[in-house]
Structure 1
């Protein structure tokens, strides 16, 4: 019995030790004018490569084509995730992908393509699925429609499980990063040239970091 109690106590101590070795990082993303930026992607990569978050990125997501828009406009997933596209508009849409940033202007970099028929009233919407496991899926991808050139959306496939979008206050929070150093990088659709990543130290005291873009993002169509 004493041996069993000792084992339980040891396991509890290990859990407490693991919890004590996790810290919180708050990243604030600002535009060129110092205003908060919504839907910027923040990726934190800790030096401890074996650590995993309590709430990992979802293995699948759905993007709707609705009112001539991709909804949500930015989707963050892990590499290898499944992505479903659904056309809720009554007219046909096309889905094409290419690397975001400077590479989006090179037609030779095209990725996956789908064509979805328009939704018929009273019937289920047409959908298609892709898996983000091909070369070029890592990082940011631009979504467009050959039929409607004004449509744009973005997906970000992250190798690090600590990744997410900023809130309307320009904030992204990671609550269970392992203590120690971590690299933080930010991606935003209008920032065609990547800004340099920063190194932060995560500890028992909440770490805060500010990343500033060199552009003012375009206003999103409502």
Structure 2
């Protein structure tokens, strides 16, 4: 039963709700150049019909430097997010953040950042510094002192962005049905492949091969 004071526009909106495009579940399996599942790949779904969705809300995140690694090694964070880098090792590290892939050849289009973090002293809090991720895109992390240290951040402006698991699978919920394009981005990728056009149905499963040969990660 409708309440007497309910506005007519609200009644109409509720009546039309079943006509709104349904949200789908999309499972994407990403394969490396060798045909094996590719972990730590970033899958981005961008609907191409209807209004552009709002970017996800910024968050606060922590990336540690621990045992000569960035932890987590791959992160997906919305545009505007703040990241605190913390050095848990007892020796000094740097944090170098630069545009990934070919964009690194022209860093003036997307400025990077550099931080210096002292080693953790016994009985004291670890050194940390905060960075705001103000522009969408891929960021490669490194350390000036330790060339083997590598990390990766994908700064997302699509709410349907996720990292593949150990089986190379990313399952994204709430994706609008209809035309869309799917992108795959990986830390070991030099040139991003063109997006793949797809039609999203209520339950969609995709297998996407890539030319990425993932480097072996340190344990």
The two structures have a TM-score, normalised by structure 1, of 0.86
2:65 corresponds to which residue?
Answer: 65
Pairs aligned (count): 215
1:33 corresponds to which residue?
Answer: 34
Deviation at 1:87, TM superposition (A): 0.5
Q: In structure 1, what is the Cα distance between the partners aligned to 2:196 and 2:117?
A: 41
Q: In structure 2, what is the Cα distance between the partners aligned to 1:141 and 1:103?
A: 10
Say if 2:39 is the partner of 1:42: no
Residues 95 and 2 (structure 1), Cα distance of their counterparts in 2 relative to 1, 3 Å cut:
closer
Residues 15 and 117 (structure 1), Cα distance of their counterparts in 2 relative to 1, 3 Å cut:
farther
Greater alpha carbon shift after TM alignment, 112-121 vs 99-108: 99-108
Deviation at 1:147, TM superposition (A): 1.5
Q: In structure 2, what is the Cα distance between the partners aligned to 1:73 and 1:183?
A: 26
2:144 corresponds to which residue?
Answer: 146
2:80 corresponds to which residue?
Answer: 80
Residues 106 and 203 (structure 1), Cα distance of their counterparts in 2 relative to 1, 3 Å cut:
closer
The two structures have a TM-score, normalised by structure 2, of 0.87
**Unpaired stretches in structure 1, ≥5 consecutive residues:** none
- Give the superposed CA RMSD: 2.6
1:197 corresponds to which residue?
Answer: 195
Determine if contact 1:200/1:209 at 8 Å carries over to the other structure. no
Q: In structure 1, what is the Cα distance between the partners aligned to 2:208 and 2:52?
A: 26
**Unpaired stretches in structure 2, ≥5 consecutive residues:** none
2:160 corresponds to which residue?
Answer: 162
Helix, strand or coil at the partner of 2:102: helix
Determine if contact 2:97/2:139 at 8 Å carries over to the other structure. yes
Deviation at 1:160, TM superposition (A): 1.1
- Spell out structure 1 runs of 4+ moving beyond 2 A: 1-18, 47-53, 102-110
Q: How does 1:1-222 map to 2 (within 5 A)?
A: 2-4=2-4, 13-18=15-20, 21-47=22-48, 48-51=50-53, 56=56, 59-104=59-104, 111-133=112-134, 137-204=135-202, 206-222=203-219
Determine if contact 2:58/2:80 at 8 Å carries over to the other structure. no
Residues 209 and 58 (structure 1), Cα distance of their counterparts in 2 relative to 1, 3 Å cut:
farther
Q: In structure 2, what is the Cα distance between the partners aligned to 1:105 and 1:73?
A: 23
Helix, strand or coil at the partner of 1:27: strand
Report Cα offsets for 1:18-45 as digits up to 9, x if no partner: 4x61111111100112110111000001
Q: In structure 1, what is the Cα distance between the partners aligned to 2:91 and 2:173?
A: 43
Determine if contact 1:96/1:110 at 8 Å carries over to the other structure. no
Determine if contact 1:184/1:199 at 8 Å carries over to the other structure. yes
Q: In structure 1, what is the Cα distance between the partners aligned to 2:59 and 2:14?
A: 30
